[in-house]
Amino acid sequence: MDRRQWAAAAAAVAVAVAGGVWFSGRSPAAPPLVVDPGPGGGRSITVHVAGAVLVPGVVRVAAGARVGEAIAAAGGARSDADLSRVNLAAPLADGQQLLVPTLSPEGGGEALGSDGRVRVNLAGVEELETLPGVGPVLAARIVAYRTEHGPFAVVEDLLGVPGIGEGKLAALREAVLVP
């Protein structure tokens, strides 16, 4: 080997040693940054908020959100909202309808009015069965209809319940209270 070859070999070794020293002196690569999007995984769901809220309608909330968050997204509860009858901590599902009830006009939240009439928006199956011509099946249909469509605004809304026609409505008209 002549001098030039020795010099080239020495330079190559020097570069290799310098590169090794430089790489070994560097700090290790930073660990990957993991962002936890929370229980919903960064997704959102759509919920229909109705009843005693300031801005009723369809709202979007994070997946895994609770009832209280949906009410807040709908502008918050109105002053006549009866939040004692709502589980604010209940989890929501996509496509769910949330009905925020109003306070009873007499403040009691009782299914029976002071005149003995049944408040169809507060009554359960047992109270509804006391109505003329209403048995357990029809009472369950009334509750299911109210749950799906929201509270009855007028007595005529009962016509939407399967099994209630004009004749049955005439019998119920004086026995029920609708706000």
Per residue in 27-66, pLDDT (tens digit) is 555 555 444 455 555 699 999 998 888 998 999 999 999 9
Domain boundaries, given as residue ranges, for the chain: 44-100, 118-177
pLDDT at site 151:
92
Residue % of the chain over a pLDDT of 70: 79
Pairwise CA distance, residues 153 & 170, whole Å? 17
Measured in whole angstroms, how far is the alpha carbon of residue 44 from the centre of its chain?
Answer: 10
- Place domain 118-177 in its CATH homologous superfamily: Photosystem II 12 kDa extrinsic protein (1.10.150.320)
Pairwise CA distance, residues 53 & 75, whole Å? 7
Read off the tokens for 18: 């310098």
Q: Is the dihedral of CA 159, 163, 165, 170 positive or negative?
A: negative
How far are the Cα atoms of 78, 88, 130, 160, 168 from residue 136, in angstroms, in the given order? Answer: 34, 30, 10, 18, 15
Evaluate if residue 129 carries a pLDDT over 50.
yes
Asked if 107 and 114 count as a contact pair (C-beta separation under 8 A), the reply is no
- pTM score, whole prediction: 0.42
Each residue's pLDDT tens digit, 55-106: 989 999 999 999 999 999 999 988 888 888 888 999 999 999 888 887 755 4
